[in-house]
Structure 1
Amino acid sequence: MRLRVLPLLFGAVLLAAGEDPFEPPPEVQAFARQQTNGRPSISSKVSTLLRAFFSPAEEGGLGIVYDNAYTRTPKEVWRDRKANCLGLTALFVGACKSIGLEVRYGEPLRISRWRRVGTTVRFERHVVAVVQSGTLGQELVADFLPEVRRDSLLIAPLEPKRVKALYFSNRAVELLAEEKQEEALHAARHSIEVDPALGVGWNILGVVQRAQGHDADAEASFRKALWEDPKDGAPCGNLENLLRAQGRTEEAIAYRERGLEIRKRDPFFNAFLAEEALGEQQWDEAGRRIKQAIRLLPYEPEFYWIQARVALAQGRTKDAIKSLEKARKWAQPEAQARYDSKLSLLRNIKPE
């Protein structure tokens, strides 16, 4: 079985050449003005507007819900009232600009996720909007979650052209999953045209090229991806798989080691490996990997949930309860009930 590593920014038809995928719908300005009218401060405007994106229609909001089926443009988000983080953020940025707020895109450096989809491993990243508050250089971070935070220390700026390039690379991944290879190839190439220095775009182009049987082109694209972003482990994994399939074992091993070295400091990759080991009943490996993830990022509730599952698999109910208590502690308020129910069940289990 061949695994392809595809970066995807937390995700229609392709747009016509030259069309801006992030052009906001014409109705957004009137909506933004209506929602923020009478709000004197930038902070109140941002928080009110963000809440309105999620509030139900009967309360005057848009009622947008999370949907990762595919990456929508702002116009599609407005139409469907559904979005992943990229589509939602693009619409929010358009709304802010329409009422004169200074806003930019950003990528939180500690929010990502690795997950397997069939024979594909996807690395999903996150994007947010960052609004200048006008007070001593403070910035307000508008996330997909209906909240506003002032801590932007771990948020890297994203240039508009890079965000647009990521939109097209997202679409390439989604189209490839739908077995629309020619459209996926077009989207991947469009991503690189928008931002030739985007390693993600080159990596996804390589994946599409390999799916079409163009291994030499794919290898060149993967190497270009690594040249553009030497800290990205995804092209290493793809090069390893390609070279191994060609019998170039020594080269494949070198890229495997390079990829593992790059990703060993990624808490979400360690959590992904813990999930993999758990599924294969490799309890010690799963425990080791999830401990490493927690050391790197100790406030992520899902890590403690994985740790609890490892403990349960080994019959360590008390340790599982301790891990679940930590998961509940760091979870968002709306998610705590889920951990409460699991804790209730475990506390009623009598140890043998």
Structure 2
Amino acid sequence: MALPAFLGLALALASSLGCTPYFDPSTRTVRSEISAHGLDPDQVLVPFQLTPEMRSWVHGVVPDHLPPDQRAQALLEALVQLDGLNLQYKPDVTGTAAEVFETRQANCLAFTHLFIAMARAIGLNAYFLQVEDIETFAQEGDLVINAGHITAGTGPSTAPRVLDFSDRTDIVYRNVRKISDLRAIALFYSNRGAERIRRHDPEAALPWLETATRLDPHLADGWVNLGVVLRRLGDTEGAEAAYRRALEEDPHKAAAYHNLAALYRHIGREDLVQPLLEAADQAKNRNPFTYLRLGDINLMRGNLDAAERFYRRAAQLDPELAAAWAALGDWAARSGKERAARRWLHHAQRLDADDSRAAALARRLGEAGS
């Protein structure tokens, strides 16, 4: 799928960033920071570096005489239009800027690597932004992999113009925060590790996530994903420590609560499970899988009203999550509401014909062959 046309740069709210001065470190500065974290800079992949070919290309497509805003717009158009790079969206691969330029494929973070590298090459004040109110979750067995949303900003950091990945010109990002280049590198390593988790290759994921947490020990997402890998590799003590470190860095990190609860369930400490999930419920939680598990616990205990509330919250957080609708169907079936149960079952099946909860509900309702 092609990236949507970028019709403009959205102006973010200045109040969301404060007055932090612009930080544009040279390669030497980044290497120095990497060394300060006990890593060899020559062994760390910096994802927003340009090759000579890329530098030549960007100077050829963006006129030097344009004012900064117009140069930023010209760069965006050159990257996505048919007569430019014509980049294609590929969600599961976090590439470096050079890889994106070579393959013409990018997810949001990879696109940001390329844009920032090229924007800086043409003299723009470009930097990484974390969108705090956008967060994605993926389930790996009973565990949750966590990822935030990263984009790029240009201009003054007190009132940045933010990369707009839609065809709307009225978007205002309400909760964005400028992050350092070093954190952006750590997020790249964390994403690469998460991709290998999803490919069921924890051994390959481990070095990426160990590097992520060494580059930025305050990156809660990195600790969450490292905990997932350690759990998959059988190191329950290491996994517990990683989840608890994630919560030290971000007490609102719902995925850490969820995964820690799953770990305690795995080792037979059921007494610790519900308190953790309830803590996640109080932690500005946008993770639908936490609410599914809370619904399951209450359904098992016969608390039908609470189960319904949690399942509806899961469906509200992710309307495309088939498991949430199948869970509502299960609740309805147990509540004697067979018509509603079948309606939600069919909705879940339309979203994901292979969903395991939907399959179990179909068997319960005598629709196993549907």
Name the CA distance, whole Å, in 2 between partners of 1:97 and 1:215.
44
Q: Secondary structure at the match of 2:52?
A: coil
Aligned-residue Cα RMSD (Å) equals 3.6
Aligned to 2:66: 40
Shift of 1:44: 1.2
**Counterpart selection for 2:48 from 12, 18, 22:** 22
Name the CA distance, whole Å, in 2 between partners of 1:55 and 1:157.
28
1:114 aligns with 2:140: no
Identity of counterpart residues, as a percentage? 28
Q: Secondary structure at the match of 2:177?
A: strand
Name the CA distance, whole Å, in 2 between partners of 1:161 and 1:202.
16
Name the CA distance, whole Å, in 1 between partners of 2:110 and 2:168.
17
Shift of 1:69: 2.6
1:75 aligns with 2:98: yes
**Counterpart selection for 1:289 from 310, 313, 320:** 313
Q: 1:288 to 1:218 in 2, by over 3 A?
A: closer
Mapping for residues 128-207 of structure 1, pairs under 5 Å: 128-132=151-155, 138-145=159-166, 151-207=172-228
CA deviations 1:202-261 (Å, max 9, x no partner) are 111111111010111111111111111111111111110111111212222221111121
Q: Secondary structure at the match of 1:258?
A: helix
Aligned to 1:63: 86
Aligned 8 A contact 2:135 2:149 in 1: yes
CA deviations 1:32-88 (Å, max 9, x no partner) are 2222216622111111211211112xx2x1011110232111111011100111110
**Counterpart selection for 1:31 from 57, 61, 75:** 57
Name the CA distance, whole Å, in 1 between partners of 2:236 and 2:290.
31
Shift of 1:18: 3.1
Where structure 2 has 5 or more consecutive residues not aligned to the other structure, the ranges are 1-40, 300-304, 329-338, 344-370
Q: Secondary structure at the match of 2:276?
A: helix
Aligned 8 A contact 2:209 2:222 in 1: yes
Name the CA distance, whole Å, in 2 between partners of 1:27 and 1:225.
40
Q: 1:178 to 1:288 in 2, by over 3 A?
A: closer
1:244 aligns with 2:265: yes
The one-letter amino acid paired with 1:20 is V
Aligned 8 A contact 2:192 2:208 in 1: yes
Q: 1:114 to 1:197 in 2, by over 3 A?
A: closer
Q: Secondary structure at the match of 1:127?
A: strand
CA deviations 1:134-158 (Å, max 9, x no partner) are 9xx6421113447777845521112
Shift of 1:131: 0.2
The one-letter amino acid paired with 1:52 is A
Which sits farther off after the overlay, 242-251 or 31-40? 31-40
Q: 1:146 to 1:99 in 2, by over 3 A?
A: farther
Shift of 1:180: 2.6
Q: 1:29 to 1:240 in 2, by over 3 A?
A: same
The one-letter amino acid paired with 1:76 is E
Name the CA distance, whole Å, in 2 between partners of 1:158 and 1:79.
27
Aligned 8 A contact 1:66 1:83 in 2: yes
Aligned to 2:8: none
Which sits farther off after the overlay, 16-25 or 110-119? 110-119
Q: Secondary structure at the match of 2:110?
A: helix
Aligned 8 A contact 2:291 2:310 in 1: no
Shift of 1:133: 6.1
Q: 1:89 to 1:76 in 2, by over 3 A?
A: same
1:213 aligns with 2:231: no
Name the CA distance, whole Å, in 2 between partners of 1:284 and 1:252.
19
The one-letter amino acid paired with 1:109 is E
Mapping for residues 228-307 of structure 1, pairs under 5 Å: 228-264=249-285, 266=286, 269=288, 285=309, 288-289=312-313
Which sits farther off after the overlay, 141-150 or 154-163? 141-150
CA deviations 1:167-199 (Å, max 9, x no partner) are 111111111222332221111101011111111
Name the CA distance, whole Å, in 2 between partners of 1:35 and 1:19.
27
Name the CA distance, whole Å, in 2 between partners of 1:291 and 1:192.
32
Name the CA distance, whole Å, in 2 between partners of 1:176 and 1:128.
23
Name the CA distance, whole Å, in 2 between partners of 1:200 and 1:289.
23
Q: Secondary structure at the match of 1:104?
A: strand
Aligned 8 A contact 1:67 1:84 in 2: yes
Aligned 8 A contact 1:114 1:123 in 2: yes
Aligned to 1:54: 80
Aligned 8 A contact 2:257 2:276 in 1: yes
Aligned 8 A contact 1:219 1:242 in 2: yes
The one-letter amino acid paired with 1:45 is R
